[in-house]
């Protein structure tokens, strides 16, 4: 979250990817960094034990969200 917001503050678009257990932490970090409504991509947890097919599904879902964020 910190890196994404830092990029945004320097005028560079960024997308932050967060897995579900870290949603509250990500929102708190955004609030502490002055952007409480900062949008980020949420994906199901965990990623490390996913099959290739599951990862592809999550990546497709995440990329749709990311495009929406980047296009504003």
pLDDT of 53 over the 90 cut: yes
**Which pLDDT does position 5 carry in this prediction?**
96
Q: Looking at the DSSP assignment, which residues form a beta bridge with residue 43? A: 19
pLDDT of 62 over the 90 cut: yes
Q: State the burial class of residue 45 (Cβ atoms within 10 Å of its Cβ: 0-12, 13-18, 19+).
A: middle
Domain boundaries, the chain: 2-71
When pLDDT is averaged across residues 50-55 and rounded to a whole number, the result is 97
pLDDT of 72 over the 90 cut: no
Helices (H), 1-72: 2-9, 23-32, 52-71
């Amino acid at each position: 979250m910190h890196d994404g917001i830092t990029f945004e503050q320097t005028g560079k678009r960024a997308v932050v990817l967060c897995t579900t257990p870290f949603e509250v932490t990500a929102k708190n970090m955004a609030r502490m960094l002055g952007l409480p409504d900062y949008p980020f991509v949420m994906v199901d947890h965990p990623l490390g034990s996913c099959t290739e097919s599951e990862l592809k599904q999550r990546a497709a879902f995440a990329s749709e969200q990311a495009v929406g964020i980047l296009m504003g």
